[in-house]
Structure 1
């Protein structure tokens, strides 16, 4: 029986002892992580806040607790409510009513961001108005006692620092990964700044925010008295960066103590330990992909023929240089999302050029019907694992991953670019069989290409710099998983198509929606 006439549904699972061991350890890591993360939510009421209009808002509070101070929890740029769960759960366990919401353009908020992103008085004013609407709705609930504080991360801290002087109901402000922009010697009152020790410029900003109130103060000292509304404190959470600082125990303990000092309350007990468990959970899901890659079609597919060194280098270098230059003169704004439209076109043209070169050299051939079916089945399995399994963990514990309907168009547009790109990438690295230097060269060339695009039009494409780390992590984690599938099945096209769809989904739900006015 030939591959073209074999039953396309004949699958088997062939595991070596090493793969069995990895499967067992990965499943144990997943189960233990989920158990620990769910334990952090036990006893906490998590429900929708009514009266917030189109803004999705959630309150975290102890079950059957008496009315308590409300703490608004503001996420950062490209974040959403789940990203701030550690803070929300910590506040709820301390007896506060933590109200987290998705800013316009983020998470499950259907309203795009708007205004002038380049002006502090542009988009920020609109986000401040949204914050006030959520504040009004939260303070009107029976679980609110009328007192109010705000805790924000990154962009959220930027909004919080500006909101507090405008709303005299706010008794304290906690800025996580905060800059000193907008901070004065007296405003906002009762300000706590906690930045990561690995955050570069923000280390100096933490010191500056403190020393505006007292030039002689050092990080870790408290100036003034939080009980009197004159407190200010700034410190660094050790061994963490811009995202890790959200989960750092130092951050959570300091925020709780600061709010307790402000409101005359006393809280104790451990703070949520979520960061490490989230990492273990996601690592377990990725690691499980190695043994699962052996769930394979029993029919044989020929191993891809490696490109010659010269052809490989041409296929890696030519699109990397040509695509940014070809797109530089053209306007690519056709989606209500920051730079996603450019990125989709960049992906599409880059992949098309590589595929065109491979076809010209006779390196790719259209498969027969049976083989095409096997490739599509494999692609569906890869996409399901990324979106359905990895995505489920992301959506519950990290950040919103399942989109509202309006984002379907964004995902479709991204897929038109990511699918040809990831297909070309899979063929370039021979389904994971190519030497490591080839994988590094092919994927590094694409990152260089995006960097060149930003350099050619920095003002318009600046936000691509935020996406670069996401693409790099995708290559490191899911490029590796694609290699496992490609080596196990000898069908790189299936892995490439599946990963292309997953990448489109991940980018489509991450990009903030933006509509210029």
Structure 2
């Protein structure tokens, strides 16, 4: 008996998610849950109060449900940082019975005031001294703080500031200086009870600065040994914290144990009777935020595929630039951008370091785009075949918003001020334009190559740009501070590389990738570089 094959059209089946994407989504979910729980519990046992006093944003943390008068510590951050980066010290010390005041110094974080001379020079020193004076006065005036037991802690620029302040204010009972840099040239007997810390992986000047400040009082002193008497105010100690650099030294358990022990011996925090936790958890808050960042990276591909939907394959093969051109032109672009970086006026934007760094990426991007056009790649803005401009524009808004939120919210809660204030809001626009040009140039040269080839080209250009920043510092075209923020830039370039690969997988337009990446790179630069 003859059978007739059923040829009726079947409903279109939704394609299954690739196994790798499923794994990424599951990992993203795990990271997000752990990150949210971590941030939600980071303040357990701590009360926080925020205020703006004489234009200085302040945040005070103290043990919850405490009684009696507590010793106090004012904590000052470094250049291009904020009080968020120093919250780990507030967590550690508040749980040991201290009232801890975090300060956003001029030009940083929530402060809309300018920092003179980008933090270098007498005018900047005077402004930082004034901000510390406001913070110390505010902490002393609180009824539950023992005004006779006040200490200071600072990192990098903030370390130099607290050293200077404590040297002329003998009422400060103890000072902790982390990575203050050059050798301390103040009096040997001031500040009182001084602890000096530096990371073992920091530049030599930071390690020498800690030892030099110790030997100003005790010429034959060695690191890791305590000299003097804390009761007389003559105690000195220098410690080189192993296996950490300029930023990670702030999150080392060794750093936090040294700090807590020093203030306990000088101010008597743990004897104040306030409830506290014995465990030191310096990475709890920042680590939770980093897990949320990782969740955003891992889930971006699935979200991009959902809002863009992969269009049909194009009828024609995409042309690609010759490989020697793709590999050689970025080198020339980086070498061209280095001298341009040197001549970009520092006052072009009211943000220290941001103008030359933004200009550096912008010049590279313009040269890459020009190369692609001259090589006959005139279609660099049209590779989203089959999509309407309306749908693509809507998807762009969604992905830009997602990128901003996935960086800004965890950062603000965990490790960096991430809300543009004052002049930062408009300075964000030109920096975004420069960053978008950079990523647009990369996409123009990647077009026509397969997935693996495009990833390698992207990595080549991004890595070359980072190397170019190092060259700019070596030849004096850029501030050495650029090297300290290089890990942040590297992390952002890797994050954007993952996003770009995901967008190429769904054949997103090159301009969409450029805009999303431009916002991701520009946002941290605009909100962290000090207003100068």
Q: Which runs of 5+ in 2 are unaligned?
A: 1-13, 272-276
The alpha-carbon distance between structure 1 residues 416 and 439, as it changes in their structure 2 partners (threshold 3 A), is closer
Show the counterpart of 2:278: 269
Deviation at 1:104, TM superposition (A): 0.5
Q: Distance in 2 between matches of 1:339 and 1:108?
A: 18
Deviation at 1:154, TM superposition (A): 1.3
1:175: Cα distance to partner?
1.2
Q: Distance in 2 between matches of 1:134 and 1:495?
A: 44
Matched, 1:217 2:236: no
Alignment counterpart, residue 497 of structure 1, candidates 512, 515, 520: 515
| Structure 2 CA distance for partners of 1:452 and 1:191, relative to 1, 3 Å | closer
> 1:425 matched to which residue of 2?
442
Aligned to 2:377: 363
**Separation of aligned partners in 2, 1:409 and 1:22:** 36
Q: Identify the match of residue 187 of structure 1 among 185, 190, 199.
A: 190
- Native 8 Å contact 1:162 1:182 kept in 2: no
- 8 Å contact from structure 1 (residues 104, 127) kept in 2: yes
Tell me by how many angstroms 1:433 deviates. Answer: 4.6
| SS of structure 2 residue aligned to 1:152 | strand
Secondary structure of 1:214's counterpart equals coil
Query: For residue 335 of structure 2, what is the aligned residue in structure 1?
Result: 321
Selected match of 1:349 from 355, 359, 363 = 363
In structure 2, relative to structure 1, the CA distance for the partners of 1:375 and 1:176 (3 Å cut) is same
Aligned residue for 1:141, secondary structure, equals coil
Deviates more, 1:447-456 or 1:334-343: 447-456
**3-state SS, counterpart of residue 49 of structure 1:** strand
- Pairing 1:89-104 to 2, within 5 Å after superposition: 89-104=91-106
Structure-2 change in CA distance of 1:293 and 1:408 (3 Å): same
Query: Per the alignment, do residues 435 and 108 of structure 1 end up closer, same or farther by CA in structure 2, a change over 3 Å counting?
Result: same
CA distance in 1, matches of 2:269, 2:425: 46
- Alpha-carbon deviation of 1:312? 1.5
Say which SS state the counterpart of residue 98 (structure 1) adopts: strand
Using the TM superposition, give the Cα deviation of residue 207 of structure 1 relative to its aligned residue in structure 2, in angstroms: 2.9
Q: Deviations over 1:44-96 (max 9, x none)?
A: 1111135x121110001123323312210101111001100110111111111
Equivalence for 1:441: 460
Residue 408 of structure 2 corresponds to 391
Larger Rg: 2
- Residue 5 of structure 1 corresponds to which residue in structure 2? none
* Separation in 1, partners of 2:469, 2:171: 45
How far has the Cα of 1:13 moved from its partner? Answer: 8.2
Question: Aligned equivalents of 1:57 and 1:438: distance in 2?
Answer: 45
Partner SS state of residue 187, structure 1: coil
Counterpart for residue 507 of structure 1: 525
Contact 2:57/2:111 (<8 A) preserved: yes
Q: 1:338 to 1:29 in 2, by over 3 A?
A: same
TM-score of the two chains, using structure 1 as the length reference: 0.88
Secondary structure of the residue that 1:41 maps to in structure 2?
coil
Q: Is the counterpart of residue 381 in structure 1 residue 384 in structure 2?
A: no
What's 2:152 paired with?
150
- When normalised by structure 2's length, the TM-score is 0.86
Specify whether residues 331 and 399 from structure 1 end up closer, same or farther in structure 2 by C-alpha distance, changes over 3 A only.
closer
1:401 is displaced (CA, Å) by: 0.7
Between the aligned partners of 1:95 and 1:113, the Cα distance in structure 2 is: 33
CA shift, 1:494, in A, is 1.8
* Alpha-carbon distance between aligned partners in 1 of 2:341 and 2:290, rounded to the nearest angstrom: 37
**331 and 281 in structure 1: CA distance in 2 versus 1, 3 angstrom threshold:** closer
Cα distance, 1:349 vs structure 2: 3.2
- Aligned position for 1:8: none
**Where in structure 2 are the equivalents of 1:13-412 lying within 5 Å?**
14-49=16-51, 52-65=53-66, 66-115=68-117, 117-119=119-121, 121-146=122-147, 147-179=149-181, 180-182=183-185, 184-201=187-204, 202-266=206-270, 269-274=278-283, 276-295=287-306, 296-300=308-312, 302=314, 304-325=318-339, 331=345, 333-365=347-379, 366-367=381-382, 370-412=387-429
Deviation at 1:327, TM superposition (A): 6.4
Moved more, 307-316 or 84-93: 307-316
Q: Distance in 2 between matches of 1:206 and 1:90?
A: 23
Aligned to 2:3: none
Q: SS state of the match for residue 228, structure 1?
A: coil
Offset at residue 395 of structure 1 (A): 1.0
Taking structure 1 as reference, are residues 236 and 13 closer, same or farther at Cα in structure 2, changes over 3 Å only? Answer: farther
User: How many corresponding residue pairs?
Assistant: 500
The CA distance in 1 between the partners of 2:411 and 2:15, in whole Å, is 27
Q: Deviations over 1:441-490 (max 9, x none)?
A: 322333344455555654x6554444444332222222223212222335
C-alpha distance after superposition, 1:21-51 (max 9, x if no partner): 221222112211331333231131111135x
| CA pair 173-444 structure 1, distance change in 2 beyond 3 A | same
Please give the per-residue CA displacement for 1:118-165, whole angstroms capped at 9, x wherever unaligned.
43x331222011110221122112232212110111111111111101
| Alignment check: 8 A CA contact 1:338 1:463 kept | no
Determine the C-alpha separation between the residues in 2 that align with 1:497 and 1:340. 18
Equivalent-residue separation in structure 1 for 2:248 and 2:482 (angstroms): 21
Q: Tell me if structure 2 keeps the 8 A contact 1:13–1:294.
A: no
Rounded Cα–Cα distance in structure 2 between residues aligned with 1:225 and 1:328: 49
The whole-number CA distance in structure 1 between the counterparts of 2:304 and 2:475 is 41
Contact 1:316 1:445 (C-alpha < 8 Å) held by counterparts: yes
Cα separation, partners in 2 of 1:43 and 1:161, compared to 1, 3 Å: same
